[in-house]
Amino acid sequence: MEIVSYFLETWSSFYQDPWFWQFPMTTLAISASIFLLFALPWTLIAWKDPESLRKYKIQDKAFELDKFFWPSIGRMLINNLILVALLIVSWPIIKLSGVHNGELPVWYIIVAQIIFFIFMDDFLYYWMHRWFHENKFLLKHVHSVHHRIRNTCGINGNYMHWIEFSATATLMLLGPMLIGAHLYVVWIWVVIRQFEAVDGHAGYDIPWNPAHWLPLYEGPVYHDFHHAKFKGNYAGFLPYLDRFMGNTYVKEYLTYLKGKRLGLKPLEVAKGIKAKQTFEG
Ligand SMILES: [Zn+2]
Ligand SMILES: [Zn+2]
């Protein structure tokens, strides 16, 4: 009985608890604002569709902004509101985690923790995403929402069913809660995670995209092929997982990488793939 009254008490006074505002609520506010900050410039580029960048477009077709810009904003708002409700309900449990705002660890511990979050989140995301595709019910009623968009741009990164959005947010928080990270480290991680969500949907494979400096990451092209071809490329960020989990790559994605190594521009490869031309090398 004591545990029940503990939970009821913690739950009913969540709004008086400063830690509730600092940890879940501020983290959510940072997450949503950073998403927009990263997503809007890419969306503007996709909307303008400038001639000079057309050769870097991954898919040889128009972006679906007319149809999906406002729905993307709407979904983002609703998904974040539902997440607020879920965070309130699960606050007594979240509160028990070791996430804190005490002393910051030294910088190399922070770096190690962030790397751990990136790999763990991506690994779990890979399996969740594959499950979304392999389970017929989830595919039809949940994940199909995100797949309505075939040629994505930045703002589409949060266009998904609220169940998928909440599950993705839970995976993101799992690492920090598991090791009891410092709140600032959680915030750095959230910024990186939203960068991942936006970059994967950017729609352009621009050589000077700073994301190309990141080891193991191939840029927006990896997730773009998931939207274009629907099956394969299941990780959120790091393509190595498809190789080790039973070679689940999208075939055309591998062809694309070959073409790129030959020095072709994204659109040239896209046209080549359409024409079923292979790029040996
Ligand atoms: Zn999918
Ligand atoms: Zn996507």
The secondary structure of residue 52, as a DSSP letter, is G
| 184 Cα: distance to centroid of ligand 1 (angstroms) | 31
Domain that holds residue 122: 2-274
Report the chain's C-alpha Rg in angstroms: 20
Q: What is the pLDDT of residue 70?
A: 96
Q: How far is the CA of 9 from the centre of ligand 1 (A)?
A: 40
pLDDT of residue 141: 97
pLDDT in tens, 66-112: 999 999 999 999 999 999 999 999 999 999 999 999 999 999 999 99
The per-residue pLDDT for 263 is 83
Asked whether residue 281 is assigned to any structural domain, the reply reads no
Q: At how many degrees (to 10) do helices 183-199 and 162-179 cross? A: 140
pLDDT at 264: 83
Contacts 24+ apart (CB under 8 A), 12-19: 14/88, 14/91, 17/95, 19/95
Residue 93 lies inside a defined structural domain of this protein: yes
Give pLDDT, residue 280: 59
Token digits of residue 250: 């999208």
Separation of 18 CA from ligand 2 center, angstroms? 35
- The pLDDT assigned to 87 comes to 96
Question: How far does residue 91's CA lie from ligand 2's centre (Å)?
Answer: 29
Lookup result for tokens 């505002």: 21
Q: Which residue has the tokens 């001639």?
A: 51
Which amino acid is present at 36? L
pLDDT in tens, 142-185: 999 999 999 999 999 999 999 999 999 999 999 999 999 999 99
Residue 280 inside a domain? The answer is no
Number of domains in the chain: 1
Whole-model pTM: value is 0.92
Q: Can you tell me the distance from the alpha carbon of 21 to that of 24, in angstroms, rounded to the nearest whole number? A: 6
| Ligand 2 center to 77 CA (angstroms) | 18
First to last CA, the chain: 68
- 199-219 residue pLDDT tens: 999 999 998 888 888 888 988
Residue 183 included in any domain? yes
Closest-approaching ligand to the CA atom of 234? 1
Q: Angle 67-68-69 (CA atoms, 0-180°, nearest 5)? A: 110
148 C-alpha vs ligand 2 centroid, how far in Å? Answer: 10
Predicted pLDDT at 25: 97
Assigned domain for 191 exists? yes
The alpha carbon torsion through 187, 192, 195, 197 (nearest 10 deg) reads: -90
Q: Pull the structure tokens for residue 60.
A: 């040889």
Task: Give me the pLDDT at residue 241, please.
Answer: 94
Position 278 scores a pLDDT of 65
> What digits encode the pLDDT tens for the residues 215-263?
889 889 999 999 999 999 999 999 999 999 999 999 999 988 888 888 8
Q: Is position 279 within any domain?
A: no
Closest ligand to Cα 142: 1
How far apart (Å, rounded) are the C-alpha atoms in residues 266 and 108?
37
The C-alpha atoms of residue 21 and residue 30 are separated, in whole angstroms, by 12
How many angstroms separate the CA atoms of 102 and 217, rounded? 33
The answer, yes or no, to whether residue 132 has pLDDT greater than 60, is yes
CB atoms within 10 A of CB 256: 25
Distance 45 CA to ligand 1 centre (A): 24
Ligand 1 centroid to residue 219 C-alpha, Å? 17
